[in-house]
């Protein structure tokens, strides 16, 4: 899909990958609708991109209202689902409210947004859906079980949608049709780790800048890629996990502790 002139709805646009994606897509000529919880930060991103602002906390039921306002203002050509929250620690220490909120923000809200925005794309016969997941959703991560589960759900949701929507050329999109892209980042240099309650302290792998993920998202939409790993070498552990899960788990138990 050509991004120049396309109307793109970005969730989680007030910081991290979402903010970087907004800047990248704006530079490519996209018209933006920006959603996020931090209204001050969101206004700053909007000032730099010329985007429309739709403040929303995706855990409190405002997702329907945000989608409705976006559609009323004009067609949405692309959804980029960046919003996400994390929590790190043994599962028994997690509160029920924290688990519910993470599931709502990371997974349920984007399922609902897709349900509300997809009919317009189907009517026009074109559009693109992008879901920012995580390598945690592919291989699992110690003491991040709920986060990993939400990202795995997002990946399964994207894969299932590909069978349901009329696709264009290639696996993701291209030409007429609805593109579906799953983005699988590894460690990204954003406030995510501080907010999850445990900073990232490993020397390797080194965090990648959010701008690198943003560029990958833009290229995926323009070229119709179905799946993108950032950095690309993450495909290797993903493939090893799929081909030899027992061996992968043994290695993860040995080397996977913080």
Instruction: Enumerate the active-site residues.
Output: 147
Give the whole-angstrom CA distance, residue 35 versus residue 29: 18
Alpha helices for 50-144 (secondary structure H):
63-72, 96-103, 109-124, 136-139
CB contact at 8 A, 37 and 49: no
Residue whose entry in the numeric block shows the structure tokens 């689902």: 81
CB contact at 8 A, 3 and 24: no
DSSP secondary structure, 181-239, as one string: EEEEE-SBSSTHHHHTTS----SSSPPBPHHHHHHHHHHHHHHT-SEEEESGGGHHHHH
Measure Cα distances from 38 to 24, 120, 181 in Å.
20, 28, 26
> Count of residues for the chain?
258
CB contact at 8 A, 21 and 51: no
């Amino acid at each position: 899909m050509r991004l120049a002139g396309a109307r793109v709805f970005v969730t989680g646009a007030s910081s991290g990958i979402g903010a970087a994606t907004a800047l990248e897509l704006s530079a490519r000529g996209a018209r933006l609708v920006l959603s996020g919880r931090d209204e001050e930060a969101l206004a700053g991103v909007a000032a730099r991109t010329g985007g429309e602002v739709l403040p929303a906390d995706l855990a409190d039921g405002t997702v329907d209202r945000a989608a409705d306002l976006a559609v009323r203002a004009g067609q949405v050509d692309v959804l980029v689902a960046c919003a996400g929250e994390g929590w790190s620690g043994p599962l028994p220490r997690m509160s029920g409210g924290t688990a519910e909120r993470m599931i709502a923000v990371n997974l349920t809200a984007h399922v609902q947004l897709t349900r509300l925005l997809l009919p317009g794309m189907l009517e026009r016969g074109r559009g693109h859906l992008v879901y920012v997941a995580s390598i945690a959703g592919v291989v699992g991560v110690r003491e991040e079980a709920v986060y990993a589960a939400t990202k795995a759900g997002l990946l399964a949701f994207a894969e299932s949608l590909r069978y349901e929507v009329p696709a264009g050329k290639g696996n993701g999109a291209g030409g007429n049709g609805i593109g579906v892209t799953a983005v699988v980042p590894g460690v990204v240099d954003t406030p995510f780790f501080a907010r999850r309650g445990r900073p990232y302290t490993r020397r390797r792998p080194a965090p990648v800048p959010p701008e690198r993920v943003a560029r990958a998202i833009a290229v995926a939409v323009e070229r119709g890629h179905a799946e993108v790993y950032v950095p690309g070498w993450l495909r290797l552990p993903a493939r090893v996990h799929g081909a030899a899960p027992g061996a992968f788990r043994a290695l993860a138990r040995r080397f996977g502790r913080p």
